[in-house]
A and B are shown apart, each in its own frame.
Chain A
Amino acid sequence: MLEACGVETPEGLFAHLPDAVRLQRPLQLAAGISEYEIVDYFRRCGDRNATGYASFLGAGVYAHYRPVLVDTVVSRGEFLTAYTPYQAEISQGTLTSIFEFQTMICQLTGMDAANASMYDGSTALAEAALMAARLTSKGGLLVARTVHPEYRQVLKTYARNQGMPIAEFGYDQATGASDLDDLGRRLNPLTASVIMQSPNFFGVVEDVNGAADLAHHGGALLAMGFTEAVSLGLLEPPAKADIIAGELQSFAISPSYGGPYAGIIATRDKFLRQMPGRLVGETTDTHGRRAFCLTLATREQHIRREKATSNICTNQALIALMATVFMSVYGKQGLRELAVQNLAKAHYLAAKLPLRFSGPFFNEFVVSTNGRSPEELNSALLEKKIIGGLPLGRFYPELSGAMLVCATEMARREQMDALASVF
């Protein structure tokens, strides 16, 4: 091959590079290691993390059982090692599964159209805000303080250079739900979108219809986020919202120290042209047989460049496939039954603890730590091999005496009893 290329050594292929740009020494990285050593290195890293603990952390990342079929399917090389399905004739597997994904997200959310995935829930919500700004030709964002605090930080980063002013509205100190009176007061003619999350960061189910009426009356759109997708098995979807942006981590996606996860955006047909991200559509091949392909690409960066609806290219396709398999395995009955189990576990645990808020909750809730610090309680729990709730003072100074606790279907009764015993 070297001879065909007219060089004597591989180095000859780089002879045209100026000396000044060439690295004149070897990379200072250890020599390559074997497969066994790699497995051993990561096993030892894993052992230095929490293993063998019961955990009651939620706060946007939930411990749900992952059905075996999920990894079986996504480990198939045909899904794992394929590129983005631009060549439709040899990508019908990926395209068909994305079409099914889009369909299931629409069924779950009650929306008309869903995209093929965003990076995660936080960036999906930020993209929803940008989308609402384009749709309304306004820039103002009015964000509930009950939206996940890290999602709000991401919103700020995205909005800042777009000249989109952000204001926040508060929550009811008794119920933990958003204060819709405060929302009403802060809405103004420049508000492009009201941004909320349900169940909210405190686990409380929000009054979506009330918020939608206010937003629409004020000439704004309502963008609803969610972090706990399993709740959609039981909770009425936010039908009056204009855009839904959520995180699917709960659908058989490992917590994996924060990612990769999969976000989604779903919306009404009339807003479709401003949707960011990839979409798969149904069509036919030259023989008239049903086929699928990527479509409406004139919204996207590779066609429209600086006029695109978003710069997103690579998304979370394989992770979305995990969610698709999860939804197929649980199905209509199973997702509801799973949600009902989550509800039962969380309410069993909540009944033993001093709740900070009175609003209805799904599988997580805020607990008052009654004079002791959440950190102190968590230390006591670690002794029992239990990771307790998330201390809230870091995000809400006024809740420094409270923690956010979550119980999913994986929480066992004796673990919950042990957690409650330190309060």
Chain B
Amino acid sequence: MSIKKVRPHISPNEDLLFERSSPGKKAYQLPELDVPAVDPRAALGAAHVRSEIEGFPEVSEVEAIRHFTRLSTWNYAIDHGMYPLGSCTMKYNPRVNELVARTEGLAWAHPYQPESLSQGALEIMAHLESALLEITGMDAITLQPAAGAHGELTGILLIHALLEQRGNPRKKILIPDSAHGTNPATAAIAGYVVGNIRSDEHGLIDLAALENSVDEDVAGLMITNPNTLGVFESRIIEAAEVLHRKGALLYMDGANMNALVGIARPGDFGVDVMHLNLHKTFSTPHGGGGPGGGPVAVKKSLEPFLPVPRLKRAGDAWTLDYNLPHSIGKVRAFYGNFGVLVRALAYILAHGGNGLRAATMDAVLNANYIRKALEPWYDLPYALPNMHEVVFSDERQARQGVRTGDIAKRLIDYGFHPYTVSFPLIVRGAMMIEPTETEGKMEIDLFIDALISIAKEIQTKPEIVKNAPHSTRTSRVDEVKAARRPILKWEPQPDPVTP
């Protein structure tokens, strides 16, 4: 065992805020009122006025900043190092994007302020729309959806609206067994039945099976390309033809768009509707789980159904057009996660067309380099060339009783965030690795060394892997206990009874 990247250091303990609270402490200041005070009970009616908020925190400013700073030190983050989560595209989040999103005229813009005083915001949205259309090769776009799954819902509602106009919205959405969980969940929320289709022996869409599955009941196919194995669906154009011939549509989950930008465009290979994840491909930060941005791009046939409002040029100004009789309506209040849109546009402006293509190349190169280095040590269940991510199986290690989840936890001791564990479901014990273009050779070599070292540990002392992590301040967490008797909020402990 040789751990090169990290060594332990001390990390502060910290209570919950509620346990730190004591009456009268405060971290805020408010100005003196410049208007007469109002008696709440008189203004609102006594029955509407609440008593004090029991248990709410009462801490000083120093306690507050220390509290959150201490908590932050318990997290791993991109800023610490490689975050090889497959399908999540954890790339560097440029700090200039954070700065520009806080530009006063943007951050303080009210969504209902007059259009004449919103031209800067509308210009940003229009600029981003045109860049994303060029990148995807699609005809029209909405920036309204708040995240990937929200974009999926929007896209499937668009398909429903078009087919309904053609006379029959149909009943079923087909989804490959390699798909993200959001795909089937989305189809169900949109009112469709899910038809699962098996992948072929290479992990790709089985064209014959698709041909057999598409009938008058099928509204569309949801596909991820490259798929969740990181493999490009090379027969995508034929798959689209099968669907189109039978009056169905092709939806593309854009989660893996980081493999395609500047190289291939969904609009050129038969996709009718797709979403993008701005928080993946376009570098807006994940923030511990959000916010995201899930623009949906479509071909002409679906354009009339896009959510309201849409940007429209009126003379030399931008305006928001609500007069779209065929629109599916709104999927979210206002116009989308505007602050996320600002960050994504900043990323695109920084890279330019050539820079975006170079990023794609680096991402794919990094994934292939990892594949070559680790192939001798871990099983590769699907051997086709991969793009931006590579999926190994724990098959060999499982014979020693060590599973993908254990290897992932052991990676933590080596100073890395784990890869994506046990997904896609078509791979037994999947280890899904996506380095992104962010990582240079030094960091990647350390990562490869770590996984090789773990493979060796499994042969000689598997216990050390099975009980990992060993060097974190929190050892393996009991998730079963958490679910068996859920404790979802802090409650004051009764005072101990004193005799």
Separation of A300 and B185 alpha carbons in the complex (Å): 9
B350 touches A33 (CB 8 A): yes
A83 touches B237 (CB 8 A): no
Q: For residue B262, which residues in chain A have a CB less than 8 angstroms away from its CB?
A: 23, 26-27
B120 touches A48 (CB 8 A): yes
CB 8 Å contact bits of A199-213 with B (1 = contact, 0 = none): 000000100000000
The segment from B56-64, B209-217, B243-251, B451-459 found at the interface with A is B56-64
B291 touches A316 (CB 8 A): yes
* A73-121, CB < 8 A from B: 73-85, 87-94, 96-100, 102-104, 106-108, 112-114, 116-117, 119-121
A314 touches B279 (CB 8 A): yes
* B24-80, CB < 8 A from A: 24-28, 30-31, 33-38, 40, 43-45, 47-50, 52-59, 61, 64-65, 67-69, 71-80
Chain A residue nearest to B277 in the complex (CB): A314
Q: Cβ of B331 < 8 Å from any Cβ of A?
A: yes
Q: For residue A90, which residues in chain B have a CB less than 8 angstroms away from its CB?
A: 74-76, 412, 417, 469, 472
Q: Cβ of A49 < 8 Å from any Cβ of B?
A: yes
CB 8 Å contact bits of A291-334 with B (1 = contact, 0 = none): 11111111011111111101111111111010001011111111
Chain A residue nearest to B108 in the complex (CB): A255
Separation of A237 and B47 alpha carbons in the complex (Å): 11
Q: For residue A329, which residues in chain B have a CB less than 8 angstroms away from its CB?
A: 27-28, 61, 64
B111 touches A258 (CB 8 A): yes
B65 touches A314 (CB 8 A): no
A78 touches B77 (CB 8 A): yes
Q: For residue A328, which residues in chain B have a CB less than 8 angstroms away from its CB?
A: 17, 27, 57, 59, 64, 67-68
Q: For residue A422, which residues in chain B have a CB less than 8 angstroms away from its CB?
A: none
Q: Cβ of A55 < 8 Å from any Cβ of B?
A: yes
Q: Cβ of B229 < 8 Å from any Cβ of A?
A: no
Q: Cβ of B1 < 8 Å from any Cβ of A?
A: no
A93 touches B147 (CB 8 A): no
A81 touches B93 (CB 8 A): yes
Interface size on B, residues (CB 8 A): 191
Separation of A283 and B366 alpha carbons in the complex (Å): 38
Q: Cβ of A145 < 8 Å from any Cβ of B?
A: no
Q: For residue A73, which residues in chain B have a CB less than 8 angstroms away from its CB?
A: 65, 68-69, 72
* B290: contacting residue among A6, A286, A317, CB under 8 A: A317
Q: Cβ of B167 < 8 Å from any Cβ of A?
A: no
Q: For residue B102, which residues in chain A have a CB less than 8 angstroms away from its CB?
A: 71, 254
Given contacts A314-B148, A332-B52, contact A81 B120 (CB under 8 A): no
Given contacts A2-B365, A314-B147, contact A59 B279 (CB under 8 A): no
* B107: contacting residue among A81, A104, A255, A332, CB under 8 A: A255
B476 touches A89 (CB 8 A): yes
Q: For residue A107, which residues in chain B have a CB less than 8 angstroms away from its CB?
A: 53-56
Q: For residue A43, which residues in chain B have a CB less than 8 angstroms away from its CB?
A: 100, 103, 105
* A317: contacting residue among B96, B194, B287, B332, CB under 8 A: B287
The segment from A155-163, A178-186, A187-195, A216-224 found at the interface with B is A155-163
Q: Cβ of A240 < 8 Å from any Cβ of B?
A: no
Separation of A310 and B27 alpha carbons in the complex (Å): 37
Chain B residue nearest to A390 in the complex (CB): B112
Q: For residue A304, which residues in chain B have a CB less than 8 angstroms away from its CB?
A: 181, 185
Q: Cβ of B337 < 8 Å from any Cβ of A?
A: yes
Q: Cβ of A270 < 8 Å from any Cβ of B?
A: no
Chain B residue nearest to A117 in the complex (CB): B290
Chain B residue nearest to A97 in the complex (CB): B71
Q: Cβ of B258 < 8 Å from any Cβ of A?
A: no
Given contacts A78-B75, A156-B329, contact A259 B105 (CB under 8 A): no
Separation of A87 and B80 alpha carbons in the complex (Å): 15
* B394-415, CB < 8 A from A: 408-409, 412
Q: For residue B40, which residues in chain A have a CB less than 8 angstroms away from its CB?
A: 234, 340, 343
Given contacts A93-B73, A260-B340, contact A255 B25 (CB under 8 A): no
Separation of A91 and B477 alpha carbons in the complex (Å): 11
Chain A residue nearest to B335 in the complex (CB): A258
Q: For residue A283, which residues in chain B have a CB less than 8 angstroms away from its CB?
A: 477-479, 481-482, 487
Q: Cβ of A397 < 8 Å from any Cβ of B?
A: no
Separation of A302 and B268 alpha carbons in the complex (Å): 30
Given contacts A103-B55, A258-B334, A311-B186, contact A41 B349 (CB under 8 A): yes
Q: For residue B33, which residues in chain A have a CB less than 8 angstroms away from its CB?
A: 341, 344-345
A100 touches B351 (CB 8 A): no
B26 touches A333 (CB 8 A): yes
B369 touches A89 (CB 8 A): no
Q: For residue A174, which residues in chain B have a CB less than 8 angstroms away from its CB?
A: none
B149 touches A100 (CB 8 A): no
Least Cβ–Cβ distance between B38 and chain A, in angstroms: 5
B369 touches A1 (CB 8 A): yes
Q: For residue A44, which residues in chain B have a CB less than 8 angstroms away from its CB?
A: 120
Q: For residue A354, which residues in chain B have a CB less than 8 angstroms away from its CB?
A: none
Further pairs besides A106-B489, A162-B189, A310-B189: 5, Cβ < 8 Å: A50-B117, A67-B28, A313-B149, A329-B27, A387-B113
The 9 closest A-B pairs by CB, nearest first: A318-B287, A46-B105, A258-B334, A77-B79, A161-B191, A317-B289, A32-B352, A27-B353, A48-B120
Of the A-B pairs whose beta carbons lie under 8 Å apart in the complex, a sample of 26, sorted by A's number, is: A13-B385, A17-B263, A27-B261, A27-B354, A45-B105, A77-B79, A83-B85, A84-B289, A87-B76, A87-B408, A91-B75, A107-B56, A120-B333, A122-B333, A123-B331, A254-B107, A260-B339, A272-B486, A281-B483, A295-B483, A305-B181, A315-B290, A318-B285, A334-B30, A347-B43, A412-B34
